[in-house]
Structure 1
Amino acid sequence: MDSIFIKNMVCNRCIMVVQNELEKLNLDVNSVSLGRVDLNSLLLETDKNKLKQALLPLGFEVIDDKRSRIIESIKNIIIDVVHHQNSEIKINLSELLSSKLRLDYGYLSTLFSEVEGTTIEKYVIAQKIERVKELLVYDELSLSEIAFQLNYSSVAYLSNQFKKVTGLTPSHFKQIKEQKRKPLDEV
């Protein structure tokens, strides 16, 4: 069994695109998830190069070094929690990252900061603000419901953090819908 880590694979559509490329290359795939492909056999170097060449024009990159794989795993866990899980997490983020990656949170935090030039906490805030923007544009939930869904302690706290990051209040953002949201891989 072999695992391949892929950068910028941040949504279900990304998973489908990567799966399609894997099928074209006739690779024996066990599973595909955010940022990761598990194969049923070891990947030959020639096949790995073919995969790299197929994915690069689509905006994906195969990650070879351990540090980059860890960083990408951290990002994918955070994206999954913020954008794809609509329920409260029963465990705090540091415990979740440590248990999923089987590494000490202090190490993960230091590595992330060194490589990305920002903290894990600031990355989480950026992802949450993008999720708030998305939910505001959809206009299906009240700000109170959005705050609850994203585990903010209050609407005021969400609003203050939103304004600090975007320069706009959530209601002002909602009024000027032409304000573009960022793709998740650019947050």
Structure 2
Amino acid sequence: MPAMSATTDIADAGIPEILIVPDKRLRMKARRVVGADRDDVAELVPRMFAAMYRAPGIGLAAPQIGVSLRLVVMDLAPDDQKQPMVMINPEITARSEELVSREEGCLSLPGQYAEVIRPGQISVAFEDEDGKKRTIDADGLLAACIQHEIDHLDGVLFVDHLSALKRNMILRKLAKDLREKAARKPAR
């Protein structure tokens, strides 16, 4: 753990950093959560929500913070009406044939957005924090968010759903933005 500087907020000390492309860990397939992982998951979930809310975002997968577990947190509600959702070992069990286009962004590709085509409705099986098996049917933003986060568990990024031309444009723009941000950072 890095040493805290005088400007580090103590409350932020336990909040993990979100990995940014091209970090290779974002391309690894996460392993299933098993019984022996439950204590780690219980400790990880609140930290993941804290990182997601701080970013801010509506979804975060464990691989985005460097943890190779099939674990996703989401909250699509407005800030003042939080409705946190945890999915452990999520699996899409059905997809509609109808495809929809929705603009997506990603905390691991900050400031980058593109239209992504995905099934409009899905069914998902997962375990909750208590290990209880659940299923939900989702459409709209929830369906898109779940598919986006499950992609992360398989080492897939939203840009992988784009043409090579669009994907390369976004990745070049991200690299340029990150270089410019690093150049603006004051030296310590």
Q: Same fold (TM over 0.5)?
A: no
* Greater C-alpha radius of gyration: 1
TM-score by length of structure 1 reads 0.30
Higher share of residues assigned strand: 2
Larger fraction in helix: 1
